[in-house]
Structure 1
Amino acid sequence: MVGRVGERLILDAEPLGDRLLQLTVASPGGGLEALNVEAAARAYLLPINTDASTLARGVEAEGVEAWVEDWLSPPRYDRLVEVVVVEGGWRGVGRVASALEARGVARRVNRYPGPLVEVLWRLGLRPGCPLGRVCDPLEDYGVLSLAVVEAYSWHGPISSPLEKPGRLRVVCGGWEEAVGGVDGALDVLRGCRPHVVVARSPVRLILEGSSRFREYLWFEPDRNLVGPRGLIVWMRISWLPYTMAHGAPIGRVLTAAEAREAYRRRYLLDERAPRHERFRSLRSLVESDMPGAARLPEPGVYWGVVQLDYSSLYPRLIAMYNISAETVDTPCENTLDPAPGYGGHRVCMDRRGLVPEVLGRLVDLREEARRRGAGEEQEAIKWILVSGFGYLGFRNSLFGSITAYETVTAAARKALAAAEEAAVEMGYRVIHSLVDSVFIQPVEPRGTPREVAREIERRTGVPVKIEAEYKWLYIPPTLRGHGAVNKYYGALESGGVKLKGIAAVRRDTPEIVREAQASAIARLAEARHPGEWPGAVERAWKVIEGYMRLLREGEPPVEKLVIEKRVDPGSSRNTPWRRAWLKSPVQTPTVKYVVAGGGRPHPVWLGPPGSIDRQYYIKLLERAAGELPKPVPQRQA
């Protein structure tokens, strides 16, 4: 669906005054516009040792409105409790609620994701949607316009606002322009009037240093898992305004969407509600408390491998089997064990669970995004779905429980076992299986890989796709000698290579090591059949030897030695990247540094280092080379 011409898009919101809400909207003519809307705040109070009606009458004497509502209480949501709703100005409601909590006569509930978002729910003001209507989460963004600003220094994109940009690049309104300084970038932006400026955190800090730069919303790629289009999808799903969604962890987006469904059902959000597990025997605990399945593969090269992947396995199992905190091990008339013999629990099927309701809608939405070819949007939904299972077992999750988590992992183990059994029965060998993927190799095939996928679907009810067909697949060994569980790479029948978990695709690998390993694998990819493999391995190692000589004796480009790390501000570990990060008086989410002579971390904002620690980079390259096949005869399979 395409957004209508002339509509204004709601981007952000904040309280203004006592009974006003200020909306920031994208104007069709470019730039941002502020609109004020009348909006009263609400607080929800659970009475303590007092009658709800009596508490409501006492609250009204404070100059705010109050009434009593019935809500369903966690963890089972099978018992009604009376809640006092207080409505009034932003400051007045907060003052009254705080005073009652201080007196010990009530405590606040329904606090997540906050009073601002609760107001947006009530008024139907959905962030990311046009003003005046609720939109399809995949709908086109209509008037929304973006500008991209990039700044470069000696090593590439700048990593600190302390660096002086050598050049800036601005892309806006379909035009790209290179400018010499901050003023030039601001002039370009002033001319094209974007709604959102895309820039890494250091560039934002540099531009914000100008008093002229106050007219746009920011999108910082180094603080977000998704791109700008993905962020708009997150806003539409979660109802979080721009400043709350930008930089948010995935769990916040998911929990906000679940809280919206809870609000619709009148499920009370009570962070202090007890979530006790029932007593279990040690044997039962051992059987149930298990993760998803993964086998330890044999290292080596395998020819003619096909990778089959379940589509959104864990969210689909949650939706299919109605797995939610309030449905697992709950007495009711109709119950189901999703994975008999796998240590799971029984699930009540009499009513739809909250978590499966939300995740089921997201699974359908992702499939629709795929059908529309909306790549960035479906990737944004995928991230929420990935978090759905993890947050089900997270101890601080509002909608999770350990028993629900265990039920999902049991169902997943059953599904992976079913996939392996189907493949073996149809004449294939299982090389590796990992959570929701199975790697199979034909031995005496009685059907095509696509027919194997259809048979797995028939047995499990979960869609299965052919993720990749490999000329060869290589599983590197670990230090203990068995195959790495989450590292593999191979040459695809369709051309190119697929890399998973190795140095060449890790963000914190310096470019020189990424380049060396990727070039070596490109030599391996030249092997078209087992007879060509030994020669390809020799050529790959010659590539590594060339880079080793460069690091030992040559002059490697210093910009290719830069290491970029994301920093956890709460960590106290004495790592090189943390030491580099602490040297900067202005700290950003990531740090770039070079390991200088003596093993000293040298932040790039200080300029190129006077020397480099060659041995440090040689060790990094040796570690990456350890993920390659050795130049000796390999077991052919």
Structure 2
Amino acid sequence: MNEEFWLLDVCSGSEGLLLKLYSENSKTFLEKVLKVPFYGYLISSDPERVVYELRDSRLIDSAWVEDWLIPPHYRSSVKVVVFRTYELSRLRYVLKVGVSKGLKHVNDFPNPVVEALFNAGLVPMTKVEVSGGDVKPLRWDPTYSDPELDIVRIYVEGGLYVAEANGSVGRFNNVKDLAKYVVSTKYDVGITDSELYVRLLEEEPTIASSARIWFTGGAFRAGEYFEWCRRSYIPPSLMGNVTIGKVITTMEGLEARKRKYVIDGSTRRVEYFRDMTNLILQDRGGVIYSPKPGLYWNVCQVDFRSLYPNIIVRFNISGETVDVPECGKVVKLEWAPHTVCMDWEGVVPVSIAELVRLKTLYEELYKSTGLEVYEVRRAAVKWVLVASFGYLGYRNSLFGSVMAHEVVTSTSRYLMGVARRAVESMGYRVIHALVDSLFVEGVATVDECCRVAGVISNTTGFDTKVESHYIWLYIPNTVKGSRGVANRYYGKLSSGGMKLKGITCVRSDTPPIIREAQMRALEELAIANTEAEMVEAVLRAHEVLRRYRRKLMCGDFEDYELLITKSYGGGRRSYVKPPKYVLEGKPPYTLYAGVGGLTQYSGQSLKNRVDVYYYLRLLDRVASELPPPTYT
């Protein structure tokens, strides 16, 4: 009898892959062993002899020689010994012995389990059909829902430990109480970051078994992890604290495996020598204005849709396609210092083309249905697309190079220039530009904003969207100086509500009392729809901050309102001396500002122990992000 199951996880076992399955119909879990082939890859000066010895050893099922293309541009080939076995332990043993005898192990990435799933067409977090001893993958459609599972998501917010589970939210002052709460229930999926997971294990070792599956790469939403598993074939057992970069690199590695591209760690593409003038002109990022601070009315924000990924796909930009010495069809972009070869499709554009399509699809599905699952998946895909560009210029990227990175950024600068000139020809003024966004003043309605976006799309040939239309937009001053900060602004949307970027209240390390003070002040500004109303609103907003100053000075606060949550990436062994709280405490760091600096919060009352002036200075910073009281 055939039955459908969710393929929740996959682990390596002594007899093959151990599939962890879940039936939504019967609400039962099942483990099933599946025998699949694993492949090893070795390079030798005498490949035929290696094949003979491998066959003679009886450690493997089969061995043969294939021609594989080698980096950096994959135009020449090498003989590679490929062998197959059905036991992962034997694969590792043979590779270890081969390396000890001077053979070169290649294609050690992605993980053999991931490659086995890819070859079998088994995608984690999708459905399979089980019939006797057979497991058959079922077609996955992006419109399908996620599995219905009991999920706990654990993170730190406002100085408190938070556990979200099945629609309820628990908040705790210490790890001990948090651990007690988590182990009181058996979950299907647990989500947290690696530092907090270690703290929980130290407090309560049974935490590991309180969930069938743990994701410890950060407190992302479950649907985001599920989508990354589907796109990369990485099962949850290997996802752990995998970075977004590892997800895109795995996707690229699987594409390379299909093409028989050798991955051997020597794929670095050396940047040629250039003079200082060339570096200054070309080795730059995207367009980022230093905007003039102030209040602007009727502002239209137009965004290019996935600009960098679309540039990569449109112009076939990948490490192995840029500045290729021997190429039949060469494209020289007039705005870029490099050439792109069009003789073959690059690994990077092929890997992300489907992601670009999915991001648009999920946006449309969310807009038409309102179902959160599509917004979560859109966010997951967006993270990978962002990483795809970042890794393009990363020195250890398998399929990136500085030259490819420069082609993308120079193209984006060119397109933003074309867009700005098109907008200005319509009689509008561009007040700010930020990588792939244009802020245009004097656009009275959303319909007018849509027309501006349409002109930009038609002029550049790249799709755009109306990101926001503001009744008013405020760009604060820098802390020291007369210019605005590129990624710090806020405004009232014509659709209702406020949009906040980069200001104090959206920072994760802002104490709750400071966040509350700024949000209350912004609520006063949000009342204003005209310049006359704004004058009064600004005065009320500053009065709000004065009330909070008095609260602090009088000690009218609760402990939790002063707590500061921080992370510290350097660690104890960083070459930069860590802060005192890192040396004395454990992550995640829940702190307060004491007379001796930031101090780990122990749960004792903070009355008469805090540096009130630290918090008053934060309020001063909040005040500096508002229009001045003298605004007219």
Unaligned 5+ segments in structure 2 are 129-135, 367-373
- 1:55 alignment counterpart: 50
Q: 36, 47, 59: which is aligned to 2:33?
A: 36
Cα distance in structure 2, aligned partners of 1:151 and 1:527 = 36
Could you tell me how far 1:182 is from its partner in structure 2? Answer: 7.3
Q: Which residue identity is paired with 1:158?
A: Y
Matched, 1:234 2:232: no
TM-score by length of 2: 0.87
| Preserved CA contact (<8 Å) 1:137 1:236 | no
Q: Which stretch shows the higher mean deviation, 239-248 or 591-600?
A: 591-600
Matched, 1:148 2:149: no
| Preserved CA contact (<8 Å) 2:65 2:79 | yes
Q: 3, 10, 15: which is aligned to 1:13?
A: 10
| Preserved CA contact (<8 Å) 1:595 1:602 | no
Q: 345, 348, 357: which is aligned to 2:341?
A: 348
Encode CA deviations 1:139-184: one digit per residue, 9 max, x unaligned: 534644123377999x87437xxxxxxxxx8844x79999999788
- 2:504 alignment counterpart: 503
| Preserved CA contact (<8 Å) 2:191 2:218 | no
Matched, 1:269 2:272: no
Secondary structure at the aligned position of 2:590 is classed as strand
- 2:477 alignment counterpart: 477
Q: Which residue identity is paired with 2:16?
A: L
Cα distance in structure 2, aligned partners of 1:572 and 1:552 = 39
Secondary structure at the aligned position of 1:7 is classed as strand
Matched, 1:532 2:558: no
- 2:371 alignment counterpart: none
Secondary structure at the aligned position of 1:630 is classed as coil
- 1:27 alignment counterpart: 23
Could you tell me how far 1:197 is from its partner in structure 2? Answer: 3.8
Task: State the percentage of identical aligned residues.
Answer: 34
| Preserved CA contact (<8 Å) 1:230 1:379 | yes
Write the mapping of 1:369-388 to structure 2, written as runs, cut at 5 A: 369-373=362-366, 374-388=374-388
Q: Which residue identity is paired with 1:276?
A: V
Pair 460,241 (structure 1): closer, same or farther in 2 beyond 3 Å: same
Secondary structure at the aligned position of 1:69 is classed as strand
**Residue correspondences, number:** 602
Pair 178,52 (structure 1): closer, same or farther in 2 beyond 3 Å: closer
Pair 27,199 (structure 1): closer, same or farther in 2 beyond 3 Å: farther
Could you tell me how far 1:457 is from its partner in structure 2? Answer: 0.6
Could you tell me how far 1:375 is from its partner in structure 2? Answer: 0.6
Cα distance in structure 2, aligned partners of 1:372 and 1:387 = 24
Unaligned 5+ segments in structure 1 are 160-168
Write the mapping of 1:121-520 to structure 2, written as runs, cut at 5 A: 121-131=118-128, 132-136=136-140, 138-141=142-145, 143-148=147-152, 157-158=160-161, 171-172=165-166, 189=186, 194-198=187-191, 201=196, 205=201, 209-210=205-206, 213=209, 216-219=212-215, 223-224=217-218, 226-330=220-324, 331-338=326-333, 340=334, 342-373=335-366, 374-442=374-442, 448-478=448-478, 479-520=480-521
Cα distance in structure 1, aligned partners of 2:29 and 2:321 = 45
Could you tell me how far 1:558 is from its partner in structure 2? Answer: 1.2
Encode CA deviations 1:401-433: one digit per residue, 9 max, x unaligned: 111000000110011111111110001001000
Cα distance in structure 2, aligned partners of 1:92 and 1:351 = 36
Cα distance in structure 1, aligned partners of 2:547 and 2:562 = 16
TM-score by length of 1: 0.87
- 1:165 alignment counterpart: none
- 2:94 alignment counterpart: 96
Secondary structure at the aligned position of 1:316 is classed as helix
Q: Which residue identity is paired with 1:401?
A: S
Encode CA deviations 1:199-239: one digit per residue, 9 max, x unaligned: 6746954895348945622345xx42631011111000000
Could you tell me how far 1:274 is from its partner in structure 2? Answer: 4.7
| Preserved CA contact (<8 Å) 2:152 2:190 | yes
Could you tell me how far 1:569 is from its partner in structure 2? Answer: 5.4
Pair 343,185 (structure 1): closer, same or farther in 2 beyond 3 Å: closer
Secondary structure at the aligned position of 1:347 is classed as strand
Cα distance in structure 1, aligned partners of 2:395 and 2:464 = 31
Matched, 1:583 2:576: no
Cα distance in structure 2, aligned partners of 1:114 and 1:630 = 57
Encode CA deviations 1:106-153: one digit per residue, 9 max, x unaligned: 211111122221221222222112232154362534644123377999
Pair 567,598 (structure 1): closer, same or farther in 2 beyond 3 Å: closer
